[in-house]
A and B are shown apart, each in its own frame.
Chain A
Amino acid sequence: MATKANIEEHKNVWVFAEQNNGKLAKVSLEMLGEGRKLADKLGVELAAFLIGDNVKTSAETLIAYGADKVFLAEDPELKEYRTELYTDIICKKALEEKPEILIIGASAIGRDLTPRVSFRLNTGCTADCTELDIDEEKRLLVSTRPAFGGNVMATIICPEHRPQMSTVRPGVMAVPEADASRTGEIITVPVEIKPEEIKVRVIESNEKEHEGEKIEDAEKVVGIGIGASDPESVEYVKELAKVLGAKIGGSRPCVEKHIIPHEVQVGQTGKNIRPELYIPCGISGTVQHTTGITNAKYTIAINKDPNAEIFKFANLGIAGDAKVILPAIIKEIKKYKA
């Protein structure tokens, strides 16, 4: 790194506000909540950076969720996300405004955009954090992230370069309460895109079919593990999920056996969930899985092995075979609902 930043010049916390087809990404709201905390600790302003085509209404939303300022860059060419165009706009403004922190949700777009921005700004970026904090003495962003598939946590700082950048895993931070009475400033960022700057052409873009909500947003989740992966148990898990109105998630081995799709894998290499109710069935509770369920409010674990690790994460534990226990539970729940 050649040029170290003149640290004193840098001030304020920025959040990149991701939108898709005009709809703000939930993770960006989570970032606003976290950014607000960081800005308050530092005693500075929180700004959101919004890029797209015709997305001004979202700017108001960002203010309601905690932004003091919104930088708004609009152009028809910005409708479809493209790494280089977005990088150009953010970097240009960051060089003028000199934020001290820039945090971005670690969504697909966030993970694509952030490294390029950080490289151009000659600064570091900590990927996929699960915790952010401020070292108030040194006025540093302290980012914590899992590494080696969640077997270790690493705390990373960026002492001599600005902005300090981190991406944060979706679902880890809470979405703050919106306050429609909040006021803020919307600053239009001039955009001028020359045709020769458009290197990547978007031929087609389709939103994938989704079965309702995502697992990370689900209020109730029934988890399926290798211990309940026989066809009979799988059927009971499905029925339980149906009577509860829950989403089905599971551990990695079940993804590998094609019992559940990768989108609903819970844990280090999958999703972090934060449901009100989590019922892991036949999941032994390796660290790879359990790091994804720590935000579950109430957990009822079912496992044949009474010493399974999963019980250490549960409120209620049932040592038994899922295909014996589940039909009984389904029956009881139906009674309650009747």
Chain B
Amino acid sequence: MKIIVTIKQVPNVTKVKWDADGSLIRAGLPTIINPVDKHAIEAALELKEKHGGEVIVISMGPGQVESALREALCMGADQAIQLTDRKFAGADTWATSYALGCAIKKIGDYDLVISGVEAMDGNTAQVGPQMAEFLGLPLLSYALGIESDGKKVQIQQKLGDFERKIEADFPALVTVEKEINEYRVTPMDKILEAFEKEIPVWEADDVDAELVHLGLKGSPTKLRKVFSPKIEKGKVQMLEGTPEEIARQVADKLNEKFLI
């Protein structure tokens, strides 16, 4: 079973900064593997442990994305491929899905593509379904469980208020929820092995991607502006007194507002 896992490196901070063009300033921010993507790696490793095969992890991003891929190798992935090219920069989900899709085509001959449902920075949940469209793969999203017999894949799907069991033949694309598993603690032996491995860097030309579809230029959506959320704050009336006095005021107010 050949499984490709797409992961994203995201900044691990709550306060982010943007430059004048509205692009995220990434320099100097601590980064992590997008948390749900770790569950995607784990799902792939568990399938591999059951059925044999290999797990290849790919990620697109600036040079520092290497550390996320290195960590994926430490978890036990067999191989990692880094997509780094200035031409990829500024991509929206469409252009990102295209570039990742080209790399997946280049790897070729795969049975499954697995990714996390969404990234914690963008929260769009679009790249998985869009890669599926580009690659012409059936999409099995929101997986809470995953099983395979080596020919097809079946997932437990959390579809809003419904839980479904759905399946598709290989090759297919699965996006996973964090409830799907507990990902492993990076095992020490894999850490020692991971730093022996080469991580090839692929550029746009290496994956036969067409320039016009890439990066900021290839992105149909444009960021117009970024701002801090302004939340309307009412003038609060603080209640004073003993708990009983306060409670009486609350009850009076609720009564006045027809809330009890």
Q: Which residues of A contact B (CB under 8 A)?
A: 1-2, 20, 80-81, 83-84, 87, 107-109, 111-116, 118-120, 122-128, 142, 146-161, 199-208, 210, 220, 244, 269, 276-277, 287, 290-291, 294, 298-301, 306, 311-320, 324-325, 327-329, 331-333, 335-337
Contact = CB atoms under 8 A, between A and B. Distances in A.
A336 B133 contact: no
Given A108-B159, A122-B220, A311-B238, A152 B260 contact: no
Main secondary structure of the interface of B (DSSP, over half): mixed
A146 B229 CA distance: 8
A75 B14 CA distance: 47
A123 B220 contact: yes
A151 B14 contact: yes
A108 B237 contact: no
A220 B259 contact: yes
Contacts of A112: 129, 139, 141-142, 159
Contacts of A159: 222
A317 to B, nearest CB: 4
B141 to A, nearest CB: 5
Contacts of A311: 236, 238
Contacts of A203: 154, 164-167
Contacts of A201: 166-168
Contacts of B121: 147-148
Given A152-B16, A156-B221, A300 B250 contact: yes
Given A277-B254, A291-B229, 14 more contacts: A1-B219, A108-B159, A112-B139, A113-B129, A124-B219, A124-B220, A128-B123, A151-B15, A203-B166, A206-B164, A311-B236, A316-B253, A320-B243, A328-B247
Contacts of A337: 260
B222 A332 contact: no
B223 A155 contact: yes
B133 A87 contact: yes
Nearest to B227: A153
B257 A298 contact: yes
Contacts, number: 256
Interface in B134-156: 134, 138-142, 154
Contact of A207 (B134, B162, B221): B162
Contact of A200 (B129, B142, B166, B246): B166
Given A203-B165, A315-B234, A324-B243, A152 B226 contact: yes
Interface of B: 14-16, 18, 22, 92-95, 97, 120-130, 132-134, 138-142, 154, 158-169, 172, 210, 212-213, 218-229, 231-234, 236-239, 243-244, 246-251, 253-255, 257, 259-260
29 contacts: A1-B95, A1-B212, A1-B219, A20-B160, A20-B162, A83-B138, A111-B125, A112-B142, A114-B129, A126-B221, A148-B16, A156-B223, A156-B224, A199-B138, A199-B168, A200-B166, A200-B167, A203-B164, A203-B165, A210-B161, A276-B257, A312-B236, A313-B233, A316-B250, A320-B246, A324-B243, A327-B243, A328-B244, A329-B251
A319 B142 CA distance: 41
Contacts of A331: 247
A287 B164 CA distance: 34
Contacts of A142: 224
A80 B237 CA distance: 51
A318 B251 CA distance: 13
Given A20-B161, A151-B15, A200-B138, A2 B247 contact: no
B16 A81 contact: no
A200 B139 contact: yes
Contacts of A147: 121-123, 226
B224 A155 contact: yes
Nearest to B97: A119
Nearest to A147: B122
A181 B140 CA distance: 41
B93 A125 contact: yes
Contacts of A113: 129
A153 B251 contact: no
Contacts of B22: 154
A325 B246 contact: yes
Contacts of B138: 83-84, 199-200
A335 B254 contact: no
Given A156-B224, A158-B222, A199-B138, A294 B259 contact: no
Given A157-B224, A277-B259, A207 B250 contact: no
B247 A317 contact: no
Contacts of B219: 1, 124
A245 to B, nearest CB: 9
A115 B221 contact: no
B16 A108 contact: no
